[in-house]
A = this chain, B = another copy of it.
Amino acid sequence: MIRVQKEDFDAGQEIRGISAKNVEVGGVASFIGLVRGANEESQITAMTLEHYPGMTEKILFGLESEARTRWQLEDVLIIHRYGELTPGEQIVLVITASAHREDALQSCQFLIDRLKTGAPFWKKEDTPAGSHWVESKAEDDTASERWLK
């Protein structure tokens, strides 16, 4: 399942919902991305996430489908927020559940790597010196490309 929303989410409740649903689940992997209070250069006072409504949902749905094809998964949840967030706030949640831990762990890493470079979100950081658009990182491209079949 995918959700694109402005509102915060309760990761614990989502994980509980997924692991309680199905007694075939042997492993639940999850990842939460959060707004940091500083990057390598500067303090961060706020982060704004812009996205492309319509295409975002399509891309996330496609990523879920690809994960379900490549790994044996009992459940997948991707929640991605947009709008203005402050340090410490949650940005993204990925949960994958499988009978086997390896499938859960690998697919969770796959999804978060792909979200970084392949989902139509753009981050703007506010710092004491002004605001700027976050540049994509070469290491994120590398992490995403290792999943190319």
Which residues of chain A have a CB within 8 Å of any CB of chain B?
10-13, 15-16, 19-20, 23-38, 87-88, 90, 99, 101-102, 104-105, 108-109, 112, 116, 139, 143
Contact = CB atoms under 8 A, between A and B. Distances in A.
A62 to B, nearest CB: 21
Contacts of A36: 23-26, 99
A149 to B, nearest CB: 20
Contacts of A99: 36
A88 B23 contact: yes
Given A28-B31, A33-B101, A20 B88 contact: yes
Given A11-B16, A29-B30, 14 more contacts: A11-B12, A12-B15, A19-B34, A19-B88, A23-B36, A25-B34, A27-B33, A27-B34, A28-B32, A28-B34, A30-B30, A31-B101, A101-B112, A101-B116
Contacts of A29: 29-31, 108
Contacts of A104: 31
A118 to B, nearest CB: 15
